[in-house]
Chain A
Amino acid sequence: MIGLRIAAALIATFLLAPTIVVVGSSFSGGTLPHFPPSDLSLRWYAHALAQPIFTEAAFNSLWLALAATAIATPLALAAAIAIVRGDFAGKSAVQAVLLAPLFVPAIVVSLSILLVSARLGIRDIGLRLVAAHVLITMPYLVRTLIASLTRFDVMLEEAARTLGASPFTTFRIITLPLIWPGLLAGALFALVVSFDNVSVSLFLTSARTNTLPLSILNYVEYNYDPSIAALSTMLVCLSLLAAVVLERLVGLRRVVGS
């Protein structure tokens, strides 16, 4: 039993090690990221926040995540309602098609969109990024929304209708509050998925219009200083916040899907 516990502790260390080291080395005072940090300093935070390539990219990523989630959420909600409540031929096929983006390698998705947009002469980077991110966030939303819609009783809606509520009132007063945690959790996870994505954005950005993860990736290729660690620590804090909220809302495992 003791042996198993030690093994579990080692695996837990393995899982957390890179994150802990990044956070720790962000407080380095020297020019190289070091863990444990030798002399404590916040200078690399100032350095990271003063670089326009990162701040601009952060804004791009934020807008992209918000736009993709805002578009994908209603689309996914409509589809989930049809799948759960509807009774039509090919329902399971439709469901499989909606989850398909999860099974295609992200890098293949990215370059196929690049090829088509090049062929059609679509040069708007924002447009192709938003389209790609709607595609990859939708499956997660569909999955969480199907789960929340399946779990509540249709009788509640029917009772409201019988008692004279209009369909809109029924949706607003009965359906929406009941699926609210699932809706919020799905949207939050969609934000995280979009904000962190690298492989789908890979071929769709340019040197001037970049997302935050891609600008970090480019920076790491030629530089090795603690500013990346500082930037990463800020991202880790955001992720942790999202994780806690998701766990409270519906449970993380349901969102990630297992």
Chain B
Amino acid sequence: MSAGKVWGLLVLGRKSELALILPSLCVIVIVLAVPLAYLLSYGVYATGSGFQPRYGFTFANFDKLLRDPFYLSIFGKTFLLSVVATILAGVLGYGFAHFMWRADRRWRGVLTILVLSPLLVSIVVTSFGWIVILGRNGLINQALQGLGLIDEPLRLVFNDVGILIGLVHVVLPFMVLSVLAALERIEPVLTEAAATLGASPARVFRHVILPLSMPGIGAGTTIVFSLCISAYVTPAVLGGNGPNFVTTLIYNQFVALHNWPFGAAVATVLLAVALLTVLLYLRWIGRVSQAGVPAAEARRA
């Protein structure tokens, strides 16, 4: 094939879409699909720690995971902390998105960079910042002690409180963006009409803005929950000693105990929960686009 022909296909993309897509699909298959399949099989095909695991089909890893209260408690704690972080991020994120939506357009650029700053600054950096703020001699404890409000420093970090604060901080941008996208789809005419007809700002919010921004809340909370349960750096840096989260449990099994088969089993469960959440997320999006069509038509009529 001549060079001109290749470029022709590249430009018009008529016939050899396959040739264009194949390289990237190969990356997905080789670096994602095959390793994931191997991981899934590893959890049910190997047991024992060390570098020489025993092979043979077994449910021993999953059995151990589901029977031991210690591992179950880590799963429970991860789930609970993720739910609480999602609720907090939902409330704060909605408030800030609403503020951005109403703010002067001039401020959009600055506000966007501000809201996305937790994503743009490395998470290792922000986690370290939280230690400086929340630590025993940190900013908050010194301020509270200086004001004479507390005698003993509060324990705000290297425990679940630290994990929670760190999680909310890092997932907040996703929540804000989801809600903001939904708010921006609301036609200004609707809120104006409600106000003209005599509704107070509070009533306009409750009966017009809130219901119409529900899809943003749904999409935001599902994606945020999925990010929370698979977070690693936050629990590793801001959490207490030992495995305190599903991800740090996996790390612990792989790196400290060399129990790869059991680590693979834990990872399989995490993967299943995360993917289930994503499916839920996609259903939300789907329902939104279906519900959006008649609503838009009604608006035009």
Residues of A near any B CB (own CB < 8 A): 4-5, 7-8, 11-12, 14-22, 25, 32-35, 75-76, 78-79, 81-86, 88, 94, 97-98, 100-101, 103-109, 111-116, 119, 131-132, 134-135, 138, 142, 157, 161, 166-168, 170-171, 175, 192, 195-196, 198-199, 202-203, 213, 216-217, 220-221, 224, 228-229, 232, 235-236, 239-240, 242-244, 247, 251-253, 256, 258
Instruction: Establish whether residues B95 and A236, one from each chain, have CB atoms under 8 Å apart when the complex forms.
Output: no
**Does more than half of chain B's interface fall in helix, strand or loop, or is it mixed?**
helix
How far is A97 from B21 in the complex, measured between Cα atoms in Å? 11
Does B225 sit within 8 A of A, measured CB to CB?
Answer: no
**Chain B nearest Cβ from A116, distance in angstroms:** 4
How far is A100 from B29 in the complex, measured between Cα atoms in Å? 11
**Chain A nearest Cβ from B241, distance in angstroms:** 11
Cβ-defined partner of B112 (8 Å) among A16, A32, A76, A247: A247
Does B210 sit within 8 A of A, measured CB to CB?
Answer: no
> For window 104-133 of chain B, which residues contact chain A by CB distance below 8 Å?
109, 112-133
The 7 A-B residue pairs with the shortest CB-CB distance, nearest first, are A18-B129, A105-B230, A85-B13, A167-B8, A112-B35, A258-B177, A86-B17
- Which chain A residue lies CB-closest to B37? A112
Residues of B within 8 A of A109 (CB): 32, 35-36
> For window 208-262 of chain B, which residues contact chain A by CB distance below 8 Å?
226, 229-230, 232-233, 236-237, 247, 250-251, 254-255, 260
Does B84 sit within 8 A of A, measured CB to CB?
Answer: no
**Chain A nearest Cβ from B243, distance in angstroms:** 13
Could you name 9 residue pairs across A and B whose Cβ atoms are closer than 8 Å?
A: A12-B96, A15-B115, A82-B13, A115-B35, A132-B31, A135-B27, A168-B4, A199-B233, A243-B120
Instruction: Establish whether residues A104 and B38, one from each chain, have CB atoms under 8 Å apart when the complex forms.
Output: no
Known: A106-B230, A247-B112. A113 touches B17 (CB 8 A): no
**Does more than half of chain A's interface fall in helix, strand or loop, or is it mixed?**
helix
Known: A19-B129, A107-B230, A196-B123. A253 touches B250 (CB 8 A): no
How far is A168 from B12 in the complex, measured between Cα atoms in Å? 11
Residues of A within 8 A of B186 (CB): none
Residues of A within 8 A of B7 (CB): 166-168, 170-171
How far is A7 from B99 in the complex, measured between Cα atoms in Å? 9
How far is A79 from B13 in the complex, measured between Cα atoms in Å? 10
How far is A119 from B53 in the complex, measured between Cα atoms in Å? 12
Instruction: Establish whether residues B122 and A239, one from each chain, have CB atoms under 8 Å apart when the complex forms.
Output: yes
How far is A144 from B237 in the complex, measured between Cα atoms in Å? 32
Residues of A within 8 A of B109 (CB): 247
How far is A116 from B180 in the complex, measured between Cα atoms in Å? 41
Cβ-defined partner of B177 (8 Å) among A75, A97, A175, A256: A256
How far is A105 from B228 in the complex, measured between Cα atoms in Å? 10
Known: A12-B114, A97-B25, A108-B270. A18 touches B232 (CB 8 A): no
Cβ-defined partner of B124 (8 Å) among A21, A108, A203, A217: A217
**Chain B nearest Cβ from A133, distance in angstroms:** 10
Residues of B within 8 A of A171 (CB): 7, 10-11
Does B3 sit within 8 A of A, measured CB to CB?
Answer: yes
Does B44 sit within 8 A of A, measured CB to CB?
Answer: no
Does B193 sit within 8 A of A, measured CB to CB?
Answer: no
Instruction: Establish whether residues B39 and A112, one from each chain, have CB atoms under 8 Å apart when the complex forms.
Output: yes
How far is A216 from B123 in the complex, measured between Cα atoms in Å? 11
**Chain B nearest Cβ from A55, distance in angstroms:** 17
Instruction: Establish whether residues B17 and A82, one from each chain, have CB atoms under 8 Å apart when the complex forms.
Output: yes
Known: A15-B118, A19-B121, A97-B25. A220 touches B271 (CB 8 A): no
**Chain B nearest Cβ from A232, distance in angstroms:** 4
